[in-house]
Structure 1
Amino acid sequence: MLAEEAKKEITSLSEQINYHNQKYYQESVSEISDYDFDQLLVRLIQLETEFPALKLPDSPSQRVGGTITKNFETVTHQYPMLSLSNTYSAEDLRDFDTRVSKGLEGQAYEYICELKFDGVAISLTYEQGQLVRAVTRGDGTKGDDVTANAKTIRSIPLRLIGQGYPERFEVRGEVYMPISAFEEINKQKIADGEEPLANPRNTASGTLKMQDSSIVASRKLDCYLYSLMTDRHVVATHFDAVESLSDWGFNVSPTYQKCQNIEEVLAYIDKWGEKRKELPVDTDGIVIKVNSLKQQNDLGFTAKSPRWAIAYKYKAESAMTRLKEVVYQVGRTGSVTPVAELEPVQLAGTTVKRASLHNANEIERLGVRIGDQVYVEKGGEIIPKITGVDLTMRPLDSTAFHYITACPECKTPLVRYEGEANHYCPNIDGCAPQIKGRIEHFIHRKAMDIDSMGEQTIKTLYEKGLLTNISDLYDLKYEDLIDLEGFQDLSVRNLLKGIAESKQAPFEQVLFGMGIRFVGKTVAEKLAVHFKSMDALMVADFEALIEVPEIGDRIAESLILYFSKEENQVLIEKLKAAGLNFQIDESKYQTSSDVLAGKSFVISGVFEKYGRDELKSIIKDHGGKVVSSISAKLDYLLAGDKMGPAKLEKAEKLNINIISETQFEEMIN
């Protein structure tokens, strides 16, 4: 295909994809199937890969992510992102209305009400109708540049439609995680044996600051826009501004409403008190603004907030019930978590019987006792939490609460590590929940992937004395299992087959599956690639460990402690004897050349020919390594356009070799 033909097809594909995005996100209309839509995107990406010079900054392919951002540049807001005054009462709103009336000296005025979505504030800058920058609120004066991640949010237009928009302007809104997407993520996490995420708001915030934009794309964030910021006089009222944003292709929630007076505002608040629960996103209140932009300007600002706007906050759903008991759960790491057992109570449409108490510090802060009448809130959390105690209802015979000092399972005295709030049971090899938890972790899909074994099977085999640690899995025989209750010929054969097949798991998965404290999947992969074998890893000292990119003091100390224990050394020898992989498959890491062997690189800025992921792969393919931060040990800073001045200054100060894209190509060629 010629470049001219490719250009025409890229233009056509981009127009089709943008059209279907607009129909779906602004009009809730699906004219083609998800599969057909994805095929359009696949073809566009294919052409842009073949003809990189034809890829435009507002291409719909930006939606799939792939950019790696190690450090988010700090940006000063042109217009400060101020916070609003909050209230929970109608009386405060009437006082606000009185202040507005007094400030406007008898002028007629009206309000516009909008739902306050529980997400992350974002400021988007457009030039010539094209998205050029996305910045988080930060401290209100400065925020983080998250443009690469914001581009993956399909409801944020990369290029505007319609006409009449200013040459340059900002639009503000709220990035949020739809409740359905949040529940989908947690469902998968629970299935994978991982801790569920706390709530959609925190998840949206964490996702927006992820380094890998392809992961951000997979999280299905959404965004409502609600405020136009510009020096040019475009509209007369906030209502007109919101209508214009919708016309230009922004995703505007249709829940806003003009109100002629404060009584209509209160009616709006009442209407959405229950109705808001039908929305796809959590809301925590209402924002009330004077509609006229001129009147907003006349009213002005206090030091912290505008005088023309206020936020009404709905009270979190709460219920009162009696605390019957505190029970304790022991995890695979030995962490002990207190959980409140409650008299059943209805809260947000569900019956609540248990609530989180987090740790001993939280219990002490609340001052809670057995028998107390406690306040329980859901507030977007996965498990309800106790937020307070009604001391007027405390029983006369109440006694102070004492946190346990011994493990509830094995009675071993608990310990508390410096800098940590939780208590731990140190009896790693004799505490049943820890042993069973480690085996459950070992068979996990991302570790040894033994899907023919589940939690109940592990419990049964542990109680029968057939499983006391992960190495015992490889000693199980048909005759050990066939006579056990619930075990049939086919299930036994499938179980043994799954265990045998797990021996093919690569070294990095074995290392992750061993459950060493602070060694998650990504850390295990970095350690495996760096040290190549378990033998090399086991003898590595502190300095050698922290040389590995992104391995800090805490992980290094945990590894050294783990490998120093004789019982762990014996366990590893047993697993070796069973035939597990304790060194990497070198063929997976073969390189095209070794011209960059022993050289380390930091990549910063925007490049003409390559994306950051491509450069990262090329460096590794030629024997080099990519690190995230500049230090005296760094060999090269590969510098592109728009790189952060702080990085450049640090590299110059440390006399690091700073090379361009062209110089890098010369090195590898």
Structure 2
Amino acid sequence: MLKVTFNNEQIDTLKKLNNEIDSDELISLFSKSTLDSEELVQVLKASNALYRAGAQVITDEQYDLYISMLRDINHLHPYLNQVEPEVLAEAKTVELPQRMLSTEKAYSKEDIEKWLKRILKAAQEINVPEEDIELRVTPKLDGYAAFDDGTTLYTRGDGYRGQDITRAFERGLKVALDGDRGLGPGEIVIKKSYFDSVLSDIFENSRNIQAAIIAEKKVDENVQKAIDDGACVFYPFALIENTTAHFSEIILNFETIVEEMWKAVDFDIDGVILETTHNALKEYMGATRKNHRWQIAFKVNEDSAEVEVLNIIPQTSRTGRISPVAELVPTKLSGATIRRVTVHHYNMVKTNGVGPGAIVQLVRSGLVIPKIEKVIKKVVPQLPDFCPSCNSHLLWESDHLICPNKSDCPAQTENTLIHFFKTLGNNDGFGPKVIEKLSNFGIKHIHEIYAIKVHQFVGYGFGEKTAQNLFNQLKASREIEIEDWRFLSAFGVSRLGSGNCEKLLQHYSITQLFELPPKKMAEVDGFARVSAEAIVKGLESVKEEFFKVYRIGFNLTDTIKKSERDDTLSPISGSVIVFTGSMQQGSRGDMEKYAKSLGAKVAKSVTSKTTYLITGEKVGETKIIAAKDKGVEVLTEQEYINLIR
């Protein structure tokens, strides 16, 4: 493992962080020879926070190694599926003017072509001709992500909430290319040529400069001079160098275009971004909670090796699925030593003959994603019969081995509690270490944790100060305002992540969902009958615990009340509306928002459930005919305005 030395500045920064363990114990983790998944997360969080605070303690390559190790242990770990936070060690968070998402990653031209097939499929579904599909390609800046609304500059934070860093502009930071304020998302960056010639002997890397620009403390005089010299800028994505062409031309000249974009700006970049420019396609494809579906980042790096499997280790997840982790002969790929990699499921182990003595082709793309590409030499696999956590007999469910012991399997109960508090996200006290300690004293359910008093925490081995803090954290988590969809998502129902929770809660209250039959749920846009049946079954399994927790009392914001208008006499209340084409009365987003306020449900595509198709300018006749064939009433924009008036 790494030998890491901390200076006084780094130690002081660690002490300011709200860690689940004290700073001395945290520092010791950096020198441990082996780390479990939660210790790795502690190291990653601390490293990231130090990095953002301009007190970097490990190199980017070392950070990537820790990420790789965590992915090897558990590729489904929640830390790996979050927007990497652009946070500071101190300061309160505020809601961003609009969400700032991550970008889906691709590591080969084939990955780009697969993404493009999704674009073309979406275009066919909404009758966009292929000749209208153009792609915009830009450099992917490697800076400090931020959002400028013209008044305030925000960090990206977790994509939903960031921190106010307007002080950077007050210190003289300029917008790149003499641009205006208020151009939305971008990156704080420093010119490579300036850093290399002026600052490389003073700072280890340019990211230290980027963090120093926004730090609350007094700015280093060398950084201030870089700001004054115009070397440090906020670069809005709207202004960045780009090339736009028909998708076929870009694919035909892909390597040349990537190389051109790589050299297009005098700033550090770590890839190129491709996105469709067609607004209707963007609106139709939308986004997940992590990234836009109409955009992708191409990153260059892939290394492979033939590796021998030493063992397959079963691990029990929160849902009871048993994940197979392959222990490998230590192999160096892209500068990192890979010792473990997750095999997707036990049916893959079974059908591909993955076990001790097997030879696999291991690929590491983009520096951080080791995976088994193919099995070169098969062996007779070893399949576990019993859960490694509770010793229950395992069952097959599709491709997965499942532990059926939902109530008494330590791995499942602990991970369920960890998932709840992590998803809730409004307190920092109940991380894996605290949950593990409580579990050892027989605490298995969420409602049991909320019933713990200060003296009981002390009895469980926590110090008096820590016990009081944990009690206060529980109180705060009930009192701090939180979205109802986030609260529901925290219970970890299969197929009911944050996005689906929000969709359902736009139509039904959180308590009504537990009485909703699959047929009614499937009527909500985006829910198929099979998914609805699985969700209803999942809700039934958590119903008792949900209401025990719900009745404790939480400050929940009600999604359905945001979606409904008090005036139930609205002419479009309850209607399903699709907007298409260019609108004259306002942006399509504004019109959709207003329609929702009148009680309508807004969809992105026309189905037999659609009530009205509202057409702006430049709408193809084919789309209108197809809507009428489905029994949908088609209105021009003016006819729609007359209707709602």
TM-score normalised by the chain length of structure 2:
0.55
How far the C-alpha of 1:456 sits from its partner, in A, is 0.8
User: Per-residue CA shift, 1:546-582, capped at 9, x if unaligned?
Assistant: 12222222332123213444xx333133224322468
Q: Structure 1, residues 393-452: CA drift from partner, whole Å, max 9, x if none?
A: x9xxxx61132233221222333334xx333222222222221121112112x5252222
For structure 1, the residue ranges without an aligned partner over 5 or more in a row are 1-63, 67-114, 123-135, 148-167, 193-213, 232-237, 256-277, 284-313
Is 1:555 the counterpart of 2:531 in the alignment?
yes
SS state of the match for residue 270, structure 2?
coil
Q: Is the 8 A contact 1:546 1:556 kept in 2?
A: yes
Structure 1 position 464, deviation (Å): 1.6
Structure 2: distance between partners of 1:404 and 1:358: 15
Shift of 1:511: 1.1
Matching residue of 1:643 = 619
Correspondence for 1:415 among 375, 395, 410: 395
Does structure 1 retain, via aligned residues, the 8 Å contact 2:429–2:470?
yes
What amino acid is the match of 1:665? I
Q: Distance in 1 between matches of 2:370 and 2:388?
A: 23
Shift of the alpha carbon at 1:633? 3.1
Q: Is the Cα contact below 8 Å between 1:604 and 1:644 reproduced in 2?
A: no
| Partner Cα separation in structure 2 for residue 556 and residue 376 of structure 1 | 38
Structure 2 residue 257 is the aligned partner of structure 1 residue 280: no
- Over the matched positions of the two proteins, sequence identity in percent amounts to 21
| 1:614 positional shift | 0.6
Q: 2:440 aligns with which of 460, 463, 469?
A: 463
| 1:105 corresponds to | none
Cα separation, 1, equivalents of 2:596 and 2:421: 31
Question: Structure 2 vs 1, CA of residues 179 and 613 (structure 1 numbering), >3 Å: closer, same or farther?
Answer: same
Structure 1 residue 335 corresponds to structure 2 residue 321: yes
Query: In structure 2, what is the Cα distance between the partners aligned to 1:325 and 1:478?
Result: 45
Amino acid across the alignment from 2:420: F
State whether structure 2 residue 502 is matched by structure 1 residue 514: no
Instruction: State the distance in 1 between where 2:559 and 2:119 align.
Output: 49
Out of 544, 554, 564, the position equivalent to 1:570 is: 544
CA distance in 2, matches of 1:215, 1:145: 30
- 2:585 paired with 1:599: no
**Inter-CA distance 666–433: structure 2 relative to 1 (3 Å threshold):** same
Match of residue 473 from structure 2: 498
Q: CA deviation at 1:522?
A: 1.8
Matched, 1:626 2:616: no
Whole-Å Cα distance in 2 between the matches of residues 362 and 665 of structure 1?
A: 56
Opposite residue 396 of structure 2, the aligned amino acid is R
Residue 521 of structure 1 deviates from its aligned partner by 0.9
| TM-score for the superposition, normalised by structure 1 | 0.54
CA deviations 1:511-549 (Å, max 9, x no partner) are 111111111112112222311241x22211122111222
Taking the aligned partners of 1:531 and 1:413, their CA distance within structure 2 comes to 39
Q: Tell me how far 1:177 sits from its aligned partner.
A: 5.6
Counterpart of 2:215 in structure 1 is none
Who is 1:666 aligned against? 642
- CA distance in 1: counterparts of 2:119 and 2:534, whole angstroms: 39
| CA–CA separation in structure 1 for the residues paired with 2:465 and 2:133 | 64
Partner of 2:403: 425
Q: 1:415·1:424 contact (CA, 8 Å) conserved in 2?
A: yes
Unaligned 5+ runs, structure 2: 1-96, 100-106, 146-155, 162-183, 188-234, 274-299
Is contact 2:302–2:367 with CA below 8 Å preserved after alignment? Answer: no
What is the match of residue 87 of structure 1? none
Cα-to-partner distance string for 1:211-265 (whole Å, 9 max, x where unaligned): xxx999999798875989999xxxxxx9xxx8xx99xxx964449xxxxxxxxxx
State the aligned residue count.
Answer: 420
Equivalents in 1 of 2:576, 2:245: separation in Å? 45
Secondary structure of 1:386 counterpart: strand
Superposition deviation, residue 475 in structure 1: 0.9
Cα 1:223/1:370, change in 2 over 3 Å? farther
Q: Please tell me the residue identity of whatever aligns with 2:529.
A: D
How far apart, CA to CA, are the structure 2 residues paired with 1:407 and 1:520?
26
Match among 358, 367, 371 for residue 344 of structure 2:
358
Is residue 448–residue 513 contact of structure 1 (8 Å, CA) maintained in 2?
no
Contact 2:488/2:510 (<8 A) preserved: no
Question: Does the C-alpha gap of structure 1 residues 424 and 346 become closer, same or farther in structure 2, counting only changes over 3 Å?
Answer: same
Alpha-carbon distance in structure 1 between the residues aligned to 2:119 and 2:555: 51
Q: Is the CA contact 2:485–2:559 (under 8 Å) kept in the aligned structure 1?
A: no
Amino acid at match of 2:473: G
Would you say the 8 A contact 1:604–1:639 is kept in 2? yes
Q: How does 1:304-383 map to 2 (within 5 A)?
A: 316-380=302-366, 382-383=368-369
Counterpart residue number, 1:271: none
RMSD (Å), alpha carbons: 4.7
Distance 1:498 1:118, change over 3 A: farther
Q: String of CA shifts for 1:171-205, please: whole Å, max 9, x gaps.
A: 978668667799xxxx988999xxxxxxxxxxxxx
- Alpha-carbon distance in structure 2 between the residues aligned to 1:430 and 1:358: 25
CA contact (8 A) 1:576 1:582 kept: no
2:519 aligned with 1:543:
yes
Amino acid in the other structure paired with 1:437: N
Partners of 1:461 and 1:599 lie apart in 2 by: 49
Name the counterpart of 1:439.
417
Would you say the 8 A contact 1:119–1:177 is kept in 2? no
Q: Which residue of 2 aligns with 1:120?
A: 112
Task: Determine the C-alpha separation between the residues in 2 that align with 1:484 and 1:345.
Answer: 43
Distance 2:457 2:261 in 1: 60
**Aligned mates of 2:453, 2:501 — CA distance in 1:** 30
Question: 1-side partners of 2:337 and 2:260: how far apart?
Answer: 36
Greater C-alpha Rg: 1
Which residue identity is paired with 1:495?
L
Q: Give the deviation of 1:340 after TM superposition.
A: 0.8
Q: CA deviation at 1:482?
A: 1.6
Partners of 2:270 and 2:612 in 1: CA distance: 47
Offset at residue 506 of structure 1 (A): 4.0
- 1:316 to partner: Cα distance: 4.6
- 1:463 Cα deviation from its structure 2 partner: 1.1
Letter in 1 for 2:438: L
